[in-house]
Amino acid sequence: MDIALAARRRHSCKAFDGERKIPPELFGQLRELLRWSPSSTNSQPWHFVIAATPGGKARVAEAATGLFAYNAPKILDASHVVVLCARRDMEPEYLDALLAQEQADGRFDSEEARTRQAQVRGFYVGHQRKAGTLDAWMQKQVYLALGGLLLGAGALDIDACPMEGFDAALLDETLGLAAQGFAAQVIVALGYRSAGDFNAAAPKSRLPEAALFTDI
Amino acid sequence: MDIALAARRRHSCKAFDGERKIPPELFGQLRELLRWSPSSTNSQPWHFVIAATPGGKARVAEAATGLFAYNAPKILDASHVVVLCARRDMEPEYLDALLAQEQADGRFDSEEARTRQAQVRGFYVGHQRKAGTLDAWMQKQVYLALGGLLLGAGALDIDACPMEGFDAALLDETLGLAAQGFAAQVIVALGYRSAGDFNAAAPKSRLPEAALFTDI
């Protein structure tokens, strides 16, 4: 497998073919990718809303309003739309639930291992909270999942359009995310490009190697 | 290709085989992955330091000190180590350089297209700056690249250990990153696990589907 080829081939899709759907088996792989995405101290500070129905996509598209109206057609015409959300807090109850899940999944072969995991995660969370960066830290983990999703889509020849341009507060209300303790971060429309996708033909651009890498 | 399998198989490696190196062709793919990673408005607000020599790895490992000393062996024993850095600012000169690169790469078929790209990126950057979230926004893009790197490593059967636990201010000094306008965000050690990697045998743990997904 040449995974770099998938990365290089991938383009942000600007217009989707509204008739063409992602086969369930392939979308299932992307769902798995999201589920198994890594996160700092396995904190999984996220939630994913998946809109695969016309009604669901219309609800998401409501947030592509005002200055962001240009994003609405991508959401409506895509095969599947994922709203990647971050947690708004990391309460002790949530940390307990993570630990219980890890125990149930067989991560700990001793009481010490369980205690150590609780301490390490507690240390990182406490450090971020004290520094006032807990929100940003949780959001970064969501972007980590986003990076996997976009590369995974590329590897499966699925076109993706990641969007930061939407009314997040409105979407948090529309989808009831705020009430559940989540905050929408980024929307990814997924499907197959239409003939109207100007970006498919445009070459990708990146800064030169020398600007990107230092070898030591 | 079943990319979800790569995601599921991937474990954070806790101990590397110091004798086993990543073949250059495979590491080249990871380098390509980083280079072609997407970012919001193609802002590429990052820099990657790659340590492939004993001396380079030792310099990075200096930052695994104090509370973070447990991370030093992973850095020293890995085949390759990547320090993912974010920009500290997004100056007008940098935005000009991005635009010039895009022009040179043939992204614009008209003066209007070029102007529109400058306006859209300027709008997003200005919005983040006004909101006081420019740093966090740039750092999120680095995590996006991180997500691709970790999945890509998994797809190539390369073990990876992402680390947030290091003295970033020290590393920024040691590697001269601060002077270049970069800030280290996360270190990824890459290579092949040793027999001492307890995490290789431990099952992965994730929250149940119902906690992770909402389908609409």
Across all residues in chain B, what is the average pLDDT? 95
Find chain B residues with C-beta within 8 A of A150's C-beta.
Answer: 38, 144, 147-148
Instruction: Suggest the residue from B99, B207, B209 to mutate for an interface test with chain A (most A CBs closer than 10 A).
Output: B207
Chain position carrying tokens 């976009």: A150
pLDDT for res A197:
86
pLDDT for res A44:
98
Find residues 123-182 of chain B whose CB sits inside 8 Å of chain A.
124, 136, 139-141, 143-152, 155-156, 162, 164-165, 175
Contacts of A194 (CB under 8 A, 6+ apart): A15, A16, A17, A18, A77
Q: Is B215 on the interface with A (CB under 8 A)?
A: yes
Q: Are B168 and B63 in contact (CB under 8 A)?
A: yes
Q: Is A29 on the interface with B (CB under 8 A)?
A: yes
Give the number of other CB atoms < 10 A from CB of residue B52.
18
pLDDT in tens, B134-145: 999 999 999 999
Instruction: Tell which CATH architecture fits domain B3-90+135-194.
Output: 3-Layer(aba) Sandwich (3.40)
Domain boundaries, chain A: 3-90+135-194
Looking at the predicted structure, is the pLDDT value of residue A2 above 90?
no
pLDDT for res A208:
96
Instruction: Suggest the residue from B13, B37, B206 to mutate for an interface test with chain A (most A CBs closer than 10 A).
Output: B206
Calpha distance B67→B163 (Å, rounded) = 13
* ipTM higher than the 0.95 cut: yes
pLDDT in tens, A59-71: 999 999 999 999 9
Calpha distance A151→A158 (Å, rounded) = 10
A4/B28 CB distance under 8 A: yes
pTM of the model: 0.97
What is the pLDDT confidence band of residue A117, given thresholds at 50, 70 and 90?
Answer: very high
Average pLDDT over residues B36-63: 98
pLDDT in tens, B106-141: 999 999 999 999 999 999 999 999 999 999 999 999
A12/B38 CB distance under 8 A: yes
